[in-house]
Amino acid sequence: MPEKIEEICFGWNRATDERSLIKFLQKFSRDELLDALAPRLTDQELTNIIDLLTGTMKKHLREDEYHRLFLR
């Protein structure tokens, strides 16, 4: 069954924001989207995205969690 974009809604409450963020990032990380988007990003946009994601993981994950959950 296809996912419904209506399931992504921010600003209602924390639990809804968390569920919406998960669905949003799952959609964002699809190969077809990233294959189209990545070549269009500027060098600065690439750096900003990488810095945001790695900084967020560094702030909120222990080293063992980073290795287990991100690096697998």
25 in the same domain as 2: yes
19 in the same domain as 2: yes
48 in the same domain as 35: no
State yes or no: pLDDT of 11 exceeds 80.
Answer: yes
33 in the same domain as 63: no
Q: How deeply is 46 buried, as exposed, middle or buried, from its count of CB atoms within 10 A (0-12, 13-18, 19+)?
A: exposed
pLDDT per position as a tens digit, 13-57 = 999 999 999 999 999 999 999 999 999 999 999 999 999 999 999
27 in the same domain as 50: no
25 in the same domain as 59: no
Q: Which domain holds residue 34?
A: 1-40
Q: In total, how many domains does the chain have?
A: 2
State yes or no: pLDDT of 6 exceeds 90.
Answer: no
Q: Which residues contact 10 (CB under 8 A, 6 or more apart)?
A: 16, 17, 20, 21
pLDDT of residue 2: 57
51 in the same domain as 25: no
